[in-house]
Amino acid sequence: MKVLLTGSFGFIGAAIDRQLTERGDEVVRVDAVIPQAHDGTAEVPDDVHRLDVRDAVEWASLLDGVDVVCHQAAMVGAGVTVADMPLYAGHNDLGTAALLAAMHDRGVDALVMASSMVVYGEGRYTCEEHGRQAPGVRRRAALDAGDFDNHCPHCGRALGWELVPEDARLDPRSSYAASKLAQEHYAYAWVRQAGARAIGLRYHNVYGPGMPRDTPYSGVAAIFRSSLEAGQAPKVFEDGGQMRDFVHVDDVARANLASIDAVVGREPESWSAYNVSSGTPVPILRVAELLSQAAGGAAPQVTGDYRPGDVRHVVASPELAAAELGFRAQVTPEQGIEEFASAPLR
């Protein structure tokens, strides 16, 4: 199979590239090598086309003969400042729209696209007495007072979390989240207008060898790693009780290959979204503890600080991906995070 892979030089893209190459697929590699993901010191292989997806109509000839596009190129992170909004809208939304237009022009009608758990906003919650609830935005006054939970609007109790299925409401809470949901909407519009087929993969917290280090846009596991390497305690926001699902980059690559195989055989005008997760939720504080213990470093420091765009709990149900793609993660967080403590970073 011939696959055009955007973001091929990135953290996740490189893992997908390795697995595609190992099984014998032909890979056309495209990456803009943006500074938010690359520090400029890494040597870019000659077979990577240093091109921007926002200009995809100009380089559309690379799509000739391609069976499927695996679209990983994106500006990532929670959105450090409001000033980041144009970067997210440009790289993620305009870039995806330009790529889809170029694909249609060249007759490529199959797409696998990186989305994110952030499209859900707050996850799924329930009250022991009043059942499932849809929490609003957490108020700054409560966060400043150290109250990080979502509360039942009827009785005021802290809400418990549940696994989030793909048909949960979509409610982005940050500029990055808004851009990822917009990518999904463009893809969904494209499959209907172009008679095409697409799969969106909603990644949960991806970690593993090759993660970018020491940038505000790095994942939390890499930020904890960098603190430990500097001889500092990992700083954990809120009270550390935020529940997340950490999924290893090799599992994310496996999910992409399963999706590439699935999407080319689907009917026209087909769109599906799937959670890509380990299926094993873990508190953020536990992640910091595992890394500290494995590295022999300082114990984590719970700061009580917070970021306004963050959500309290969001953890995924892996069942739809298992049923329809045959994908289940192979690396547990306990195993993978311990190994990540000494894995090479980018």
Q: List, by residue number, the catalytic residues.
A: 176
- Supply the DSSP string of 2-53, one letter for each residue: EEEEETTTSHHHHHHHHHHHHTT-EEEEE----TTT--S-SPPPTTEE---G
- Is the distance from CB of 233 to CB of 298 less than 8 angstroms? yes
Q: What are residue 40's phi and psi, to 5 degrees?
A: 90, -5
Residue partners of 91: CB distance under 8 A and separation at least 6 = 32, 34, 53, 54, 73, 74, 75
Burial class (CB in 10 A: 0-12, 13-18, 19+), 191: buried
Cα distance between residue 272 and residue 275, in whole Å: 10
Q: What are residue 285's phi and psi, to 5 degrees?
A: -60, -35
Rg (C-alpha) for the chain, rounded Å, is 20
Q: Give the 3-state secondary structure of residue 36.
A: coil
- Is the distance from CB of 208 to CB of 197 less than 8 angstroms? no
Kindly state the helix (H) or strand (E) to which residue 294 belongs, with its residue range. Answer: helix 284-295
DSSP, res 316: B
| Nearest alpha-carbon partner for 282 in 243, 237, 239 | 243
Question: Within 13 A of 213's CA, how many CA atoms are on the CB side?
Answer: 18
Q: What are residue 239's phi and psi, to 5 degrees?
A: -110, 10
Pairing of strands 26-30, 2-6: parallel
Kindly state the helix (H) or strand (E) to which residue 114 belongs, with its residue range. Answer: strand 110-116
Cα distance between residue 257 and residue 89, in whole Å: 27
- Is the distance from CB of 275 to CB of 318 less than 8 angstroms? yes
